[in-house]
Structures are given as C-alpha cells and as structure tokens.
C-alpha cells in the first residue's frame, strides 16, 4: 500500500483534519501524519506537545476504526531549502503529498513530488485557530474536534493551560 | 491499553528487537518504539535513516501481525540531564520503560519511571553491531533479521551503501 | 538555607527587581537569580549581554549588602516542554519559584514546583520596557534603577548603544 | 590589496548593491560580499537561497568586469554579542566595513573596526523590499536589478516562487 | 576589585581546584569560576550536571569562608574561533585568565588577554580523572575533594550514578 | 562555464589540492571549492579557521593565475541524509562533483550527481595529516604546500598555534 503524506501542526487535531485523513485513506493510501513544529508547546499558537498531539490523533483514529496511518513528529529546522530532505529522512517513502499550504506545496513541488490539494471542510470553523479561540473565549470548541480529542484535552487540563497563558 | 517504551537505534532492526517487541506486547502493553539517534545515517555505526528504520520495523511487525505499536523518531539532543523530558515531549504517556542500557535505565529511573530489564536473546549474535559486521564481511546477516528487513535493505541497496563506506 | 528561584531578563535590572530580591531574601531564602535569554543582546528589547546584566545585578546587590544570592545565565532553548529540565540542570536545587509570568508559573507548576506570586512594585514604571523607552526618549531613566546599574550602563556607553539601534 | 567587507542579504542583489560594490572597488579595495541570513529562503522576506544569491552576484559582477571580489555565505547565529567573531572566523582579514545598517555598524565599531557609511543610491527604489513588492504586484522590477539577476530569477522560476508564497 | 577567570569542568570540584581558587583570591582578585561543558552530565567523563557542580563549589567555598567568587555555567559551542567571545558575553569583565590548559591559554592569548599559569598541586592525584577512577574502583576518593563535595555527591547518590554507568 | 564541486577541509591547502584544482580547471570547469567543517579551528586536526583557509586558497590560486574558482565555507550539520541539500543551498548550481572520499561520493551519488574520482598526487605525502605532523615534528612541511600557504601560516603564527596545542 502506498503512503501519502499529510503535514500539519494539529494544535489540536480537529474534525477537518479527521475528514482529510478519511479522504486520503478512502483513496487507498496509508497516511503518514507528520506532526510539524513538534518542538513547540505551551504557547497560545502551539499549546500542546507533540506527544499530546500524537495521543489525540491516535485515539481519534482508533475511534473511527482507521488503521492505515503512522504519526511522526517533525521538529522544525527553520531552513526551508533543506526541509524536504529533513522530512524525507524521518518518514518512510511517500508517493504523494496532500497539502493546501502554499509553502509546503512549493517546497515538495520543487523536489518533484506530486502534491494534491487537500479538500477543505468548512475551513472557517474547522481550523486550529478557531478551536483555540473558542477555548479562550469559553465557547463550544468541543463540537469542532473528535470526542477523543476532547478527552485528551480534559485529561491534561488543557483548557486551563491555554487560559492561563492568556493571562 | 497502557504503553511501554522501547528505545533503540535499530541499525538495523533485528530478531532480538522483534522478540523484545513480542514479549512486551505479550505482557499486554502497546509498545512505543523510539528510534534513537534519528538524525544519524550513512555511517558504519548508523547506516540507515530514521525513515528507513521506520519502514523496516513497520514491515516486520506487519508480517508478524503485531498492531499495538507506534514508531517515533527521537533526534539526539546530547544533553542527558534533559533527555527524558525531550522524549516525554515527543511520545504519548508511557507506563513503563524496557531497557538494558545502563544510561537509559539510569536516566528514566532518576525521573521515577519504572524501568524493566528487557530479556536478551542470544545477544552475542542478535546485535546491530554483529549484523553490520556480517554485512561488511559478506557473511550471512540475513538470518539475524526479519525477512521484511532483508527486503528493505535490498530495496535501498543498503549492502552497497555500507560496503562503500568501508572503502 | 533553602534557595528560591527568580527568573527574569533584567534588561536592565531595575528597582522593582531589587525589591523582589530583598523580599525573597527577607523571607529567609538564598535567591537564585536566573538571567533569562542570556544569549540575547544589542537589540532594543534586549540591549545588554548576560555578562553586563550579571555585573549590574552583582554591583547593585553589593551596594545593598545582600549576600545570599547567585546569578546564573540561562540561554533560551525555545522548547517550553523541556525548559524546566533545562533550568534544573543549570542551577542548584531550589525550593520555590517566585514569578508573575504566566508561562513560567505554568511550566514550573506542571513539574510540581511551588510557585509564589512575586509582589509587584509600581509595575507601570518599574519595568524593563519603561526603562528602555525612557533611555530612547531621553527621559529620566536613572531614577528607576539602582545607582550601580546607572554606573554600569554609563561605563559600557549603553545609552549610545540603545539610541544607535533606534536609528 | 586590502579587503573591505560589505554585508547584506541580497534578496535579491539589485542596482544599489552593484553601485556600492563598484564604489568600494573604485576606492582600491577587494570587496568581501558577505551573504547574510544564508540559511533562509522560500519566504516572502527571503525568497532566494544563498546559492542562488551567490549566482546572481557572480554573474552581475562578471558582466561588469569586476574581479576583485569574494562572495561568502554567513549563516545567522542569532547572538549579536558573538556575531562579529562568527563573521571573522569565516572571511579573510578585512580592513574596513561598509555599512548603513545601525546594528552592523554598532557591532563592528564595538570590536574596533573602522565602519564607513555606504553611499546610498535612490534607496526608496533600490531596495530589496521594493523589488520583492514589485514582483508580487506585477510591476517592473527588472529595471531595479542587473540583467544577470533578471536571468537567474527567470531560470529558477523565481517570480512564480514568490507569487505562490503570497497565496 | 578586579576579576580573574578560572575555567574548568569541575567533574567534580577537588582540592586542586580549591587551592587554585584560594591562590587567586589571595592575589586580590575576585574569581569568576566558569563551569565548562555545562550541558554535559551522566557520562563517565562528565557525571555531574552544572547545577550539581555549582552546589559543590558554592558549599566548598562557603566552608572555607571565601566570598569573592562567582560561578557561571558555560555551555559548549564547539567552535573555538568564537569561544572567547561566547565566554565574554556571559561573564562580567575579567582582568586576567588563570589556566594550564594549552587550548584555553592559546585562545585567550590570541584575543590579547593576559593568561597566567595556574599553580598545580600534586596533579597526579588532584585531577578529576583520578577522582572518577577512584569512585569506580571503590578506592578512597573522598580524601581528594572538599568535605562539602563528598556531601553533595552522597546526597545525589553520585557514586551509584557513576558505577551504574560503568555497567 | 559549468561548475565542478571540490570538497575538502584544506587543513591546510597543499600541493595535492592545488593540482586537483588545476586538473579540474584544465577540463574546462569553473571550480567551486567548498571548505568543509568551516566551523572548526584551533585543534590538531583542524588548526585553521575557514577565513584563514580561504586566504590560503585565494592567494595560492592567484599565484598560479587561476581565476575560475569560488571558495565557499560549509559549516557541518552532522546529518548526512540532508547534507547534500545543505551544500546545494549554499553553492551555485554544479554539474559534477570531484571526490575520492567514499562518503561524499556515496551521498552525492544517491542524489543522482555525477561524481568523478579526483586524481591523487603522491597521497602519502600530499595530505593534510602529513603536513600537520611535519609541523609538529619540525620537519620540512613547507615543500608540501604552495608558497602562499607558507606565508599565510607564518603571518598568523600558525606553527606556534599548532605546537602549543600539542602541549
């Protein structure tokens, strides 16, 4: 089974991410979920550690019965000219990249990868930014993420972590 | 299901590693296989990239029908006092560490983890060093590793990579 | 004598910092003054080197007759999940952390440290930002810092350094 | 022949840079062209790799018949207190620094270098920022850079790279 | 009071180090004790963290009634050409360097510092290597270090740490 | 004119290096001389800074009347899987690589570069190791390097630097 690469920060993993994974798996790929900026955590933009994000994704996909996936943390190297080589050295061989990010698209295209646009699902709400904003403002963020993600965030007391960082 | 951590460099993944995984899974754990020194490759001590090692492990475990595992690359930070925190930030929560390495044992013990000795299987032959030496000397290394690993090494022309590095 | 940790950037060390040190020493602690972002200097936000900040603090405390302190530079590692471990590896054992910074508070609390709020003294003027702004605008910044700090900044021609950086 | 140092990012190398080089060479120096932030590329602020910038400069100077120059990439170290020592370790001995950048001027002056102001040529148009903005807006950017730079940017499909990054 | 720099790794701080500090203080200097390779710990060559070494030194000097000292951790940068600038950015201004290490002597001499030979005291026994070897072999290492150092090593269970690393 | 890449550490640049450059230029290439391990200096294996090595090479080639060359320092990244991408980002486009180093050959071959064996000239004497050993032992090292290199080493007092490091 060929592998497709899906890169994101997953801060946190939300329903839009889940649908993207389902779509890619539905096309017959095993999906390599690269957790970008793996070194970041405890900021408003990047509240969760790579390990916490790993757990969110693994539990959400288990609930959905999805098995053809791998989760791999990718620490930033802050040098885009060698970033694709960095990713290549950490993941098993991939056939295609799914992305809507222009930089990711550009970098993998320059290295002759096939990059496919990822279908977007109500991007105005299924977005990490929106989820984090709702957590801060006390709105319903739970409806935007899989139940397993709600549970992980609760277990690590994640709402308090984020709201404390707001001051 | 609780997770157990198994740390190694897997240069390459051999039958001793496979038996350790089987043992840990047999005890009812999901095993987190941390691929250490993930940044290293193309040397005699560390010939394979983290992505190549990931592929070896995933394919070998698939052949064995093992599913309760995760493979996570760990890039060295060369500071042992903060290495456990580094690993913790990249992996989902773990219950126990399996290791025979004295430094790993020491570092996780200082952080109050339960560290269990990993049972060893003919360590005089099931060792990465022995496998690499046999590759260099042209002896039968294939019998020391799972078939899936033989196939990955063949696919990436790994024997030639190692022998060329010897000069 | 138990040690308390006080973390700041001290750009520069001002009267608010001095009062915090006096308060902590007054409670019977020896105070470990961690000089954060030690690698930064020569910017508007961080004009002074760690060595220059060390000198400011040491001279100011000598003038006050305070002896139960240690000054330790802490270079950023830009990974909050392992930052407490980084600090722990560089300082002697501490009993309590004094901080009003939400991130510092959060990170040390997650690692089970007792974090106490630092009493604030006219924070609208005793702030590094205000001191630096007054230096730029030519206002009286000297009244906000200990005399020893004025002397160090004069000796290193610090006002000129900052105003040149403004352009 | 004594060497003069000219530091810039050259994103891209434009006619203002060219005139600065001509002026310095005209004063009898061999010019060491330090390509700053050499590790950056593929962003709107820093679209070109150090190698691409090297090629732009080398070809433009060849067209002008200038031979007394050297091009040396300088990767950022993000610590200004040791940045001059970093540059010194990478370039041959220099006699004088040409710069209009206040930070560069300050840092080299603190280390007792002679720093001369670089003559500016219509800085409101001969600026990397203006060139990049014109590329984005589809205006005439070609008139601001040497012909050799136009050719390099065309060869690497640089306009498309930049416009794709805008989204 | 002028400052003198004394650089070492202090793995651990032994009686030879103590005598060197006493000598330097006796010459009228305040001594800046730079703890080199501050990032290293938990190896046979470098068993103790910078924080642990700080504690050893502070307690030993307190027992001796020495007050004119500062302890500053120095993380390696592995680039000797800029190492002096690195140290300079972290410590207050120093007048003279005491060293018997040829590399340290060379590097500070190239930067025009006065470097004085440090008097040696039975270097065949007062050496970190000898202390660590005695700890491993179970010989009397306690006689080679100040009592305060014995106590710190006991408190952190340091003998066990070292002997476990030997395997 | 197409460019060929020649990678070395040039500690120091010797007659064997010079002949390799002459051969490559004689084949009609412009030669990109990559100065590897550019961050290292002041050790017995790597005594000279990248800037000093640059000067040696530039002066030696000027004496020979060679003009079609560029000298580019390459700082190690210690990750061979991404090293070719690192080099590519720093140098102008190259057509062919000249090397006798098995690792360099392997890494560039894996990335589909043409790698040609570099002709060797009395490698038992024209070697950096031999030059450095002769400097240490006081033998005639001058006959192994271009006159310009002798002069640079004299100017920077390089023999004393090396012999001091031996102790």
* Matching residue, tokens 């309760």: B68
From first CA to last CA, the distance across chain B in angstroms is 48
At CB < 8 Å, which residues of chain E contact C?
Answer: 38-39, 41, 49-52, 54-55, 58, 67, 70-73, 75, 88-93
The rounded distance, in Å, linking the Cα atoms of C73 and E39 is 13
CB contact under 8 A, F106 and B49: no
Look at C93 and E55 and tell me if their CB atoms are within 8 Å: yes
Closest C-alpha among E167, E15, E161, E2 to residue E94: E2
pLDDT at B120 over 80: no
Of E166, E79, A80, A106, the closest CA to residue D46 belongs to: A80
For helices F147-155 and F50-64, give the axis angle rounded to 10 degrees: 150
Interchain proximity C164–D106, CB inside 8 Å: yes
Rounded Cα gap, residues B16 and F83, in angstroms = 32
Distance CA E102, CA D86 (A): 22
Q: How many cross-chain Cβ pairs, E to F, lie less than 8 Å apart?
A: 25
DSSP B29: P
- Whole-number Å distance between alpha carbons of B53 and B50: 5
Q: Which range, of A111-125, B34-48, D52-66, F29-43, averages the lowest pLDDT?
A: A111-125
- Show the tokens assigned to B13: 């993944």
Q: Which of B40, B49, B165 sits opposite F103 (nearest CB)?
A: B165
Q: Partners of F138 in the beta sheet? A: none
Best F79, F83, F84, F99 member to test B by mutation, with max B CBs in 10 Å, is: F79
Tokens of residue A68, six digits: 């053809």
Q: Tell me the pLDDT band of B122, cut-offs 50, 70 and 90.
A: confident
Subunits with 3+ C-beta pairs closer than 8 A to C: A, B, D, E
Are the CB atoms for D3 and D92 separated by under 8 Å? yes
CA distance B144 to C136: 70
Q: What is the pLDDT of residues F87-141, one digit of tens each?
A: 999 999 999 999 989 999 999 999 999 999 887 778 888 999 999 999 999 999 9
pLDDT value for F8: 95
**In A, which residues are within 8 Å of B49 by CB distance?**
88-90
Which value does ipTM take for this structure?
Answer: 0.94
pLDDT tens-digit profile of B9-21?
A: 999 999 999 999 9
Judge: A84–F85 Cβ closer than 8 Å, yes or no.
yes
Cβ B5 vs Cβ B32: under 8 Å: yes
Closest by CA to D41, choosing from D163, D167, D161, is: D161
Nearest Cα of chain A lies from the Cα of B100 at a distance, in angstroms, of 24
Asked if pLDDT for residue A120 goes beyond 90, the answer is no
- Determine contact, residues A72/A91, Cβ cutoff 8 Å: yes
Q: At what angle do helices C158-166 and D102-110 cross, to 10 degrees?
A: 150
Q: What residues of D are in the A interface, CB distance below 8 Å?
A: 39-43, 49, 161, 164-167
Let me know if C63 is exposed, middle or buried by CB neighbors in 10 A (0-12, 13-18, 19+).
middle
DSSP bridge pairs for B35: B8, B73
Percentage of residues in chain F with pLDDT exceeding 90? 92
What's CA E83's distance to the chain center, in Å? 17
Q: Is A123 exposed, middle or buried (0-12, 13-18, 19+ CB in 10 A)?
A: exposed
Report the pLDDT value the prediction gives residue F11, as an integer from 0 to 100: 98
Q: Minimal Cα–Cα distance from D35 to chain C, Å?
A: 21
Q: Taking CA D43 as the corner, what is the angle to CA D41 and CA D46, rounded to the nearest 5 degrees?
A: 55
Q: And the tokens for A131?
A: 């989820």
Whether D51 and F75 lie within 8 Å, measured CB to CB: no
Interface with A, mutate which of B51, B76, B156 (most A CBs under 10 A): B51
Nearest CA to E46 among E56, E57, E36, E61?
E36
Do the two chains E and A touch, given a threshold of 8 Å on CB pairs and at least 3 pairs? no
Q: A79 vs D165: CB contact, 8 Å cut-off? A: no
- Total beta-carbon pairs less than 8 A apart between chain A and chain F: 18
pLDDT of residue C25: 97
| D118: pLDDT strictly greater than 90 | no
For chain C, which domains are there? 3-161 (3.40.50.620)
pLDDT tens column, F16-38: 999 999 999 999 999 999 999 99
CB atoms A79 and D167 under 8 Å: no
Quick one: which H or E segment has residue A72?
strand A69-73
The stretch B48-60 carries a mean pLDDT of 98
Burial D91-103 (b: 16+ CB within 10 A, else e): bbebebbbbbeeb
Q: Are B31 and B4 in contact (CB under 8 A)?
A: yes
Q: What is the pLDDT of residues E83-125, one digit of tens each?
A: 999 999 999 999 999 998 999 999 999 999 999 998 777 888 8
The residue among D165, D145, D154 whose CA lies nearest residue D40 is D165
- The position carrying tokens 């800037």 is F51
Whether residue B167 has pLDDT greater than 80: no
Give the number of other CB atoms < 10 A from CB of residue E30: 18
Could you report the per-residue pLDDT of B1-47, keeping only the tens digit for each? 899 999 999 999 999 999 999 999 999 999 999 999 999 999 999 99
Residue of B nearest to C85 (CA): B82
Contact between chains at C50 and E90 (C-beta distance less than 8 A): yes
Above pLDDT 70, what percent of chain A? 100
Q: Give the closest-approach CA distance of A107 to chain D in angstroms.
A: 8
Which pLDDT belongs to residue C120? 74
Instruction: Return the SS3 of E70.
Output: strand
pLDDT for the residue B12: 98
Backbone angles phi, psi at E74, to 5 degrees: -125, 110
> Using an 8 Å Cβ cutoff, are B7 and B36 in contact?
yes
**Inter-chain residue contact E78 with F161, CB threshold 8 Å:** no
What Å distances lie between residue D66 and D8, D21, D23, F54, CA to CA? 18, 9, 11, 20
Chains that touch D (3 or more CB pairs under 8 A): A, C, E, F
Alpha helices in chain D (DSSP H): 15-26, 50-63, 83-90, 102-110, 128-137, 147-155, 158-166
Strand partners, A98: A6, A116
E158 vs D1, which has greater pLDDT? E158
What is the C-alpha R_g of chain B?
16
Q: In chain E, whose CA is at the least distance from the CA of C75?
A: E75
Tokens 């060139």 locate to D131
Min distance D59 CA to chain F CA atoms (Å): 11
| β-pairing verdict for A69-73 and E69-73 | unpaired
> Which residues, in sequence order, are CB contacts of D27 under 8 Å at separation 6+?
D4
> Strand pairing of C3-8 and A69-73?
unpaired
Query: D69-73 and D30-35 as β-strands: parallel, antiparallel, unpaired?
Result: parallel
Is F49:E110 a contact under the CB 8 Å cutoff? no
Provide the shortest C-alpha distance from residue E90 to chain C (in Å): 4
Q: Which chains, if any, share at least 3 CB pairs under 8 A with chain E?
A: B, C, D, F
Mean pLDDT of A4-22: 97
Residues D66 and F92: their CA atoms lie apart, in Å, by 18
Burial A74-101 (b: 16+ CB within 10 A, else e): bbeeebbbbbbbbbbbbbbebebbbbee
CA distance A42 to chain C (A): 6
Q: With contacts defined as CB-CB under 8 Å, which chain C residues touch A43?
A: 80, 103
CA angle F85, F86, F87 (to 5 degrees): 90
DSSP tag of B143: G
Residue E88: list chain D partners with CB under 8 A. 81
Which of C7, C10, C18, C11 has the alpha carbon at shortest distance from C122? C18
Task: For residue D33, list chain F residues with Cβ-Cβ distance below 8 A.
Answer: none
* Inter-chain residue contact A42 with C81, CB threshold 8 Å: yes
Look at residue D58 and give its three-state secondary structure. Answer: helix
With CA atoms as reference, report the closest residue to D12 among D159, D166, D167, D163: D159
Kindly give the interhelix angle for A102-110 and D158-166, rounded to the nearest 10 degrees.
150
Decide if B82 and C81 are in contact by the 8 Å CB cutoff.
Answer: no
Written as six digits, the tokens of B148 are 């899936």
Q: What is the DSSP letter of B11?
A: T
As given in the structure block, the two tokens for residue A34 are: 């690269």
For residue A58, which of A79, A40, A47, A72 has the smallest C-alpha distance? A72
Residues of D in contact with F73 (CB under 8 A): 72-73, 90
Q: Is C10 left (phi over 0), alpha (psi -120 to 50) or beta?
A: left
pLDDT tens column, D8-27:
999 999 999 999 999 999 99
Average pLDDT over residues F135-162: 97
- Residue F119, pLDDT score: 77
Chain D, nearest residue to C163 by Cα: D102
């Amino acid at each position: 089974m060929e592998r497709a690469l899906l890169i994101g920060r997953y801060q946190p993993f939300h329903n839009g991410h889940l649908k993207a994974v389902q779509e890619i798996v539905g096309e017959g790929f095993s999906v390599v979920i690269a957790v970008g900026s793996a070194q970041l955590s405890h900021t408003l933009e990047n509240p969760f550690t790579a390990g916490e994000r790993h757990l969110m994704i693994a539990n959400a996909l288990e609930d959905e019965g999805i098995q053809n996936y791998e989760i791999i943390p990718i620490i930033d190297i802050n040098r885009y000219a060698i970033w694709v080589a960095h990713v290549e050295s950490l993941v098993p061989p991939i056939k295609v990249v799914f992305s809507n990010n222009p930089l990711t698209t550009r970098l993998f295209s320059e290295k002759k990868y096939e990059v496919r646009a990822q279908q977007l699902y109500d991007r105005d709400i299924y977005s990490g930014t929106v989820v984090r904003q709702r957590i801060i403002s006390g709105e319903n963020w739970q409806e935007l993420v899989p139940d397993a993600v709600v549970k992980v965030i609760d277990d690590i007391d994640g709402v308090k972590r984020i709201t404390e960082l707001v001051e």
